[in-house]
Structures are given as C-alpha cells and as structure tokens.
Structure 1
C-alpha cells in the first residue's frame, strides 16, 4: 500500500535549522531512509500514479501531492540544505519504523535518532540530527549516558540541549555518573558545542534563545590545542547556560568573540562550572548585558574569568580558584561614549590564583563597581609568592574603580607547603580614579600598596591592615588615611590629634573664623632661622633680622619683649626675600623685641 504525501505545509517538515517551516519555491526534493546517509527512495508516484524519483515544490513553496514507496509512512526530505527534515504521510498517523518518536516534535530523545551513549560509539551524527529537527522552543534530550563526539555539535536558535546531570569536580572514591558529552581523541573542530550567528549558520532570523541545561562536557581525551567547551562568534543573543560543567578541554570553557564586527549579546549563565581547561575558564569579548551567577572557574591554564568589556553586566556570587593567571581579569577598552555603563561585581571570591585575585586594567570611562569582595591566598606565582601580585590589583586602569568592602587573607598551599602569598592585599599603580571604602587587608608584605603614580586614590576611614603569616600577624589597625581632593564633613570633625603637611584655608567670613574654644588654648609658631616668629635685641636702637620668608606684602608685628635702655617708638622696613630691620626712635634703646610675620590672604 502506498501512502499519500504533500499537499500543504501542515503535512510535512522541510526547513532550515532556525525553526522556520518553509521550503523554497521550485526546490527539488529527494527522499531518504535516514537523516544522514541511508538509502534514497526512488520508487515514487505523482498524483496521476506516474513513476517519479523526486518532487519539485511549486511557486509558493508547497509540495504537490505524491505517493511514497509501498508501506513507507515517513521519509527524510532533502532540499539541498545542510540537513534533512522528516516528512510523514498525511493519510496515516500511525508512524512507522523509520519515524522519529511519535508526532511530538518539541521534545526529541537523541536515542530515537540513533545515539547510543555507551561512552564508545561516535554519536555526533545522531545528536546533530535531533538538534536539526527540533522546532524552535523545543528540547533535545540526552538520557543518562556517555556520548562521544568527533566534531562540534551546533545548537540551532531557540533549541535547548538538556541532559540529566552535570557533575562538578571529581571526588576521590566517587565514580562520575555517565551523563556527559565526551569528545573522542580524534575530535576535529574548535569547540565541543558551537552557536552560529545568522552569517555562518545561514539562518533567516537573528540567532538567539539557545539553551544548554544540565549538561557536562568532558574533554579529557582531547589532544588538539585550542578546543573550547562552548564557543560563539557574532551576533548571538539571549543564550542561557544553566547547571553546565566544562572540564579538561584544551581551550576555554566558554568563549565568545566577534564575527564581522558583531559580538554575542545578553547571555545568562547560572551555576556554570569550568574545571582545568587549557586556556581561560570563561573568556568574553565585548559581551554587553551578561549575567554570571554562581559560576566557578578552577584550575584553568590562564585567567579564571577573562572579561574584555562587558558593559551593563553583572557578576554575582562567582568564584575563581587555583587558576594559573588572574582569578578575575577586567580588561579591554570599555569606550568613552554613552554606551551601557560599566559592570557590577558582587559577592565574589578568589583563592590561590597564580597572579592577582582580581586585576582591573581596563580603559575607558564606564565605572567598575566591586562590592563585598573576598580574596584569599592569591599571587601564588608557582608557589614562590612575591611577584608584586595582590588580592585586588588595579594597574593602569582609566575606568573609575569603586570598591565597597574588600578583605584579603594570605596563606600557603592546602598541604602547608610553598610561600605565603599574596605579597599585597590591595595594590594600585597608574590608575585614574580608585576609591576603596572599607576592608581588612592581610598580606605577606603590605596590606595596602600605593605606587604613588595614581591620579586619585581614595582610601576609606575603615581599612585595617596586617602583614606576615596568619599564625603570627603584625597588626596595623590604624594606618594613615589618605584623602585626595576635598573631604566635606557635615557637623563636627572631632580629631584627638592632627598633622598637616599642606596649607589650611578657612573661608568663614566672620570675626571668629578660627576659634580656640578651650581656656588656656593658644597658637604656637616655631622659631629659628627664617621662621615666622622670633625675638631680636636692639643695639644702638636698631637690629636687622635675616629672613628669606619676608615678602613685599609681609606685615611685621613688633612688641617689646623686655625693656632696655632709653625706650623709643618701634618701626620696621623690609627687603623682600632677604631681611627686615626694626628701628627705635631712641638711639639708646637696647630692648629685646618680639616679632611675628603675617601675610594677607
């Protein structure tokens, strides 16, 4: 018995992989027994029962009525694109042995497309066939198993790849459940899973809304360098990774980059673990509106998080530990235009990274805000410590860096070996503007390090320091507080003691602008060579006092400290920058004369 195919869009699926249900007008279709390879069905008949081997769509993209081979109720249609699509006979709903699972196409099981999941068989073609034939908004399901691949898997727009479980770190004595994608040693490609933009993917719409949920990628058998776990290039929007683990790939765990000047945009990563990769844990290049929540990068070959311009983004509750480079690196050109602003980093921590815990060396104008940062034992430097590394480092940053609370705690390796690090709790070099409100900074050499070449570095009033090892720290709980620029205090500023190396200005326009309110309070002025106050003795009614601080406008106030001889009236003359002379109207005046020098404001 032959079954009827064709007639209208509702009776078949032939589409590009972005989920659009269409076929090009005039497209020539051939029919096959499998999604890839297989046997071509050539025993076809048109509506008049004339034998044919292929079918041509009409000028509206509709497939005319035709009949399939005897007993066949479903076939894979090939319109010359990158993949085939399933077509069922519209005169039966029973399906057949060639058909994918039932008639439900928004939840596809990769086992029904030939995937084995036995940790041996190459399942690349089967998994990709399921992905290609999933409608937008649908799910491709990976049951428990070890799925080996030899080439990148491409997730189409709007499709979710969902597994059952994503392992985190290896635990001694615990065998990992087999629920992962594991590339073969023969794997060829730049990433285990790829997202393609509309340019490279040939999609009719913007590439967006991809999902990976509860999937682990294990690259332990990959030998080729630079293989990423997940890679995306170009305008790929609104991607979500949730409960995803990537470990032991030779490239980055997650890597986004440009394609023809366009970048991925607005991603959400939740509970993503990247473990022991060859390059950065997560590398994002100009990723606007990204949100990272409860993500971790551990043991990676470069930085844990390499973020080069992530305007209007959030990084919350993330951890970077034991990475070879920096734990978190905020870098790149963040521009100076209106843009979407800077980035908020909140509640994050670092531990035992080889370089700095957090390094900010970004350029541009958007502010980077860091709140509640906890850094520990960073600056490991291959176990040697030192190297100028810090828990928090800002080096040549022109972006404003605003830090709320930061704590640093030093230490050695977990087994008690290697050198105590980091060298500095917080270190600032050549930055435009950095403000740190509060913190507790314990480091091997210094809690706070100012290289002296920052344009403005503001240190808050509540920052304590410690140095040395944790079992014998040296406390510096009340170090100097440096405030660059103006410090405006509403109400009273009560100071138990004070020192000033700069000029003081009092702008109050009242008679008692400077008020020494305590009984017995007074003003003391140092005396000595070129001082502004002193005493001199008249000889024959005159004395010249050498003093280079005298100016043409200096007011010289004189008074008789101790009378001597025949007293007269006192007067003064000045030689700017050299001296002033006190003269009595009596040539027999030998008094000791006190004097004070004032300048007009």
Structure 2
C-alpha cells in the first residue's frame, strides 16, 4: 500500500456548507480520526521529514505543514480542539499499486511560491497555481497582500478565491491584508484578464470563470487606462461575488469585443468599484447580464456605462459621486428579433456630476425603470445647473417606461457648493416616455419637458417641489392629481363621472359633443338663478329674477302649455338682475319654458 500526502494549507479542508472554511489558529495542535465524532485516532503519521508523529502543529498562518497519512488512508477527520472536526482529503490517490496521481482541485497559492508580504512579486506564483488548477477547481489566496507586475489570467471554469473584501476605503480603518496590489511599473491592460478561446489557446469555450472574495487595490498604478478586470471576446457565464476594485487607472470592469464577439451572460453580486480612473462598469454589448447590489463610487467617468445589454437587469445597484452620469444607458440596442431591453429596479444615485440616470439609447427594445431613487445629482463641479436631472431621457428612440421615480436635491456633505439637480426629471427629443408616478423635488423644476418629444406621458400621481430641502415650495397637483392638461389619445370611457370645474370641448366639427345612444340627453338643474326653468305669463308677460343673466346671454323661450290668447314670444334682459318674457297677445296666459346659453 502507499502513504498519501496531506496538509500545506487550509485549502485541503472540505466542509458543509460549501462556502465555509474550517480553519485552525496559529500553533494549534491537530489530531486525526476516522469519524466526525468519537471514533479511533490515527497515530501512524509521518511529518515532512518522514519522522513518526501522532499529531501535526499548525504554522503561524494557521496552515498545516505537509505530512503523510497512514497506509492506504485517503481522507481523515481533523480535530483542532474545537466543537467540530473538518474533513481533510489527501493530495493524491492510488493510480496503481504504488503510483500516486494528483487529484487536488483546491490549490493554495502559497504552495506555488506566493508570499503575500506586500513586497514580493507574486505574479508568477499565482499564475502557476491558476494554470495548474483543473476545471472546476479553486485557487485560494490566504490573507495577505499579493503584489503583481503583470496581468493574471484565469482559465475557463477556474475560481480565484480570497478571504475578505473591503467594500471601500474608509479613513481610519486598517485594511486587513487580503488583496491583489499591482506594483509600481505594472505593465499590462488589466490586473485580471479573462481571455477568449482563441487568444487564451484553450481547447474549450472560455466560460464559467469565478472570482470570489477578491479585492484589487490599484493605488500604486502609474500608467493610465489599466482596468481592474477586463474581458474581450466570447467569454460566457462569468460569476463575480464579493469583489472590490479600487484606484485602478482605467475601468473597474471592462467588457469588450474581439473578432466580432462579446462577453455573454455574466452574473455580478456585491461588486464594488471605488475611485477608478474611467467608468466603474463599462459594459459593451453584453447580453443577459445580471448585476445585483453592485456599486460605483467616485469613478472618473460614468458609474455604470451600459452600451446595449439586451435581456439584462440591474437590481439594487447604486452610483454616487461619479464625475459624469451615475447610470448611463446608451448605444444602439438594435431592432431585430435578437434585440432586447433592460430592467433597472430598486436602484439609487447620489451626487453624480451629471445626471443620476441618463438614457440616450437608440433602437426599439424597452428600457424599464422601477423604483428609482435619485438624490443630489447634477453636481456639475459644485455649480449645479447645467440642465442636469435625477432622471434624464435625451434623444432616446428606445421606449422608456418608468414606474416610480423620486428626486431629492442637496449640496455636498459639508453643506458647501450649490444645490442640485436643476430638474427632477427631464425629457427631450424622445420617441416614447411614460412615467407613472413619482415625487420630484429639484432646484428649478420637478418635471421638465425639454421639447421635441413624440410621446411623453405623465401619470396622475406625480408631485413636484422646488427650492431647498429646508424650505421647499410645493407645486403639487390638484386633488385629481392631474397638473395642467390631461391629454388622452383615442377615447376615454368612464362608467360614471363627476366634475366641479369647467369643461371645454375645442373640436371644431359640427358634432363636437355627441350624446351616446338613443334616449340620452342633457339635464340642467332648475331653481333660483338656474339656467333653465318654467314661468307663467300674466297679462301676456312675466319677469324672471336671475342674477346669472349677462349682456351676451342668449335666451331661448318656447311655449310649454298653451293658455289664453296665444301670441309670439320674445325676451328682454336686465344683466345681473332678471329677464322678461313677453307675448304679443296681452291675454296670453301660457306656461313658457326658457333656457339660457352663453357664447364660447
């Protein structure tokens, strides 16, 4: 039989759930057993020097040195004196009577010569671990500061996994040493590059890369345009989770074309891009991308620059303090059967230099925005104004459908600079925009129609405010929640209706007002000062008190019930007081009806 190798890192421990790590403290004494509890201890061990031992002592990092297990044993339960034991696999299994074949799928970069001391160039060691990792395996970065001099490339279906990701730089916070930090003089297009099948020389489609719990710190980068993570070409189904990219000189994440192909179907969860030189997320023609709880802060251009992302979604993402727009939906989204729109839901913006969200995309797919919260955008280098808005749609031919949008103005955190944005929501030269509801508070106007819109539909429940947050000026709609005119295309069908205001019909055709089906009619209330009523002639005349009569009132009179000697009827007015109805026959005692009309 044969002894098998164990140890050399916490990467050899396998526990449930799969995203946990069973670790030990520095200097811990570890024993090995044949069961998860109780059982029999394995005491026939050999240390790295082939000396007999019954236990293994962890090093200063909490890792176990390489050792040999008992004959024929390929896995053991490790006990470090805690409440549970962790399962530990051997590095090799038997391929023949005495032949060992490697089966390790969790590789520790320290085993490949990486140091993580914030000084040593670890590029070659980390790349060696990535190259040695089988598809489906994990390359593990224990806590440390790993310096690199050139791009790291992750092969298909390999996971690069660290221990911890700081979300962003915080004054006074001591960062745990757990990141990749390019050296001064770094040469390359990106700190981490994902290569397609052709450029990478892979024998399979480049897909299923994973980056988990990894932070990239580009503080020492000098050359401009170096991205954090870059992918060009047909690179599919990439997953990023708990990833932070800060202070690189290019984009945080940059997806590009290669040979007419683009990356496809990525999933990003809890990805932070902090103070990078260009866009935080530069997405070019990425079909089926999902971004959940991603944030771009302090980026040198747009926080999110989405240039055609058919059938994609952003959920719970945030863009703040970026130099240009917070979220920019742009580019040609096409018109064919393969084109598709995008859902932006539950996202927020704050204090971006230009618009919070700008949509200027062309094409036919709909862009749907739900529950958008904008605040203090349009900073414009502290000057405010500039025509910026919390939500701006400018020159878009894509349909833009907005469910709920809010805007709240303000200044810098310390109270300095001008209040912004100038507009809560602004729409100019658009093909179709529909906004259902919102609360829009901005410096100059909550709602702004910039003109040139083919269809701009404003919902019934949109409130506006202007001025400062301390002393806002309400520009709320009337109780019906319709501010200004309500324009209805087609026809409005209502089962019942009430109105306390004037109705105007501006149509110039003869049948400007039609009364439905047979039997329909007009009913006018009668009574004191009414516009319709009946009176009885006495001696051929009657005076009707009515203060609603004007100098231009038209009085229509007609006989309701004949009486006495009949004559021709006429009317005379005393404006504001009364009108008189007179018959040409002094003995006329008829009951007469009258209706008052006013010229429009």
| TM-score, length basis structure 1 | 0.71
Asked if 1 retains the 8 angstrom alpha-carbon contact of 2:570 and 2:581, the reply is no
C-alpha distance in structure 1 between counterparts of 2:406 and 2:493, whole Å: 27
- Cα gap change, 1:385/1:596 in structure 2, threshold over 3 Å: closer, same or farther? closer
Shift in alpha-carbon separation, 1:481–1:135, aligned structure 2, 3 A: farther
Residues in 2 aligned to 1:565 and 1:245: alpha-carbon distance in whole angstroms: 93
Which shifted more, 373-382 or 256-265? 256-265
Q: What corresponds to 2:191 in structure 1?
A: 192
**1:495 lines up with 2:499 in the alignment:** yes
1:94–1:495: structure 2 CA closer, same or farther, 3 Å change rule? farther
Structure 2 match to 1:455: 454
Query: Where does residue 113 of structure 2 map in the other structure?
Result: 114
**Is 2:357–2:392's contact at 8 Å kept on the other side of the alignment?**
yes
Shift of 1:486: 3.6
Pair 1:489–1:262, CA change in 2 (3 A): same
Q: CA deviation at 1:512?
A: 5.2
Task: Describe the SS at the equivalent of 1:192.
Answer: strand
Q: Distance in 1 between matches of 2:569 and 2:123?
A: 102
Question: 2:125 is paired with a residue of what secondary structure?
Answer: helix
Distance 1:564 1:439 in 2: 56
Return the alpha-carbon distance in structure 1 between the equivalents of residues 425 and 487 of structure 2: 17
- How has the CA–CA distance of structure 1 residues 525 and 444 changed in structure 2, closer, same or farther, with 3 Å as cutoff? farther
Q: Could you list the per-position Cα deviations for residues 451-490 of structure 1 after superposition, in whole angstroms to 9, with x for gaps in the alignment?
A: 2321111111111100000001100111325435246344
Separation in 2, partners of 1:525, 1:139: 91
* Structure 1 residues 305 and 484, CA gap change in structure 2 (3 angstroms): farther
Aligned residue runs from structure 1 range 316-465, under 5 A: 316-465=315-464
Mapped contact 1:145–1:178 kept (Cα < 8 A): yes
Inter-partner Cα distance in structure 2 for 1:500 and 1:205: 70
Q: Which runs of 5+ in 2 are unaligned?
A: 1-90, 478-482, 533-547, 556-567, 573-579, 585-595
Instruction: Give the CA deviation at 1:201.
Output: 1.2
Q: Which residue does 1:242 correspond to in 2?
A: 241
Change (3 A) 1:152 1:476: same
**Number of the residue aligned with 1:83:** none
- Aligned pairs, how many? 456
How far off its partner does 1:267 sit? 0.4
Q: Partner of 1:259: helix, strand, or coil?
A: coil
Change (3 A) 1:224 1:491: same
1:510 aligns to 2:514 (yes or no) = no
Q: How does 1:127-276 map to 2 (within 5 A)?
A: 127-276=126-275
2:130 and 2:158 in contact (8 A); partners too: yes
Deviation (angstroms), 1:498: 4.0
Deviation at 1:560, TM superposition (A): 4.6
Deviates more, 1:492-501 or 1:271-280: 492-501
SS of equivalent to 1:451: strand
User: Does structure 1 retain, via aligned residues, the 8 Å contact 2:569–2:581?
Assistant: no
Q: 1:326 to 1:489 in 2, by over 3 A?
A: farther
What residue number does 2:484 align with? 480
Q: 2:85 maps to what in 1?
A: none
Once the two structures are superposed, the pairs formed by residues 58-97 of structure 1 within 5 Å of their partners are none
Contact 2:247 2:277 in 1 (8 A): yes
Distance 2:492 2:317 in 1: 36
Distance in structure 1 (CA, Å) of the matches to 2:382 and 2:489: 40
Contact 1:113-1:130 within 8 A present in 2 as well: yes
**Cα distance in 2 for residues equivalent to 1:153 and 1:450:** 49
SS in structure 2 opposite 1:172?
coil
Post-superposition CA distance 1:35-81 (Å, at most 9, x none): xxxxxxxxxxxxxxxxxxxxxxxxxxxxxxxxxxxxxxxxxxxxxxx
Q: Once superposed, what is the RMSD of the aligned Cα atoms?
A: 3.1
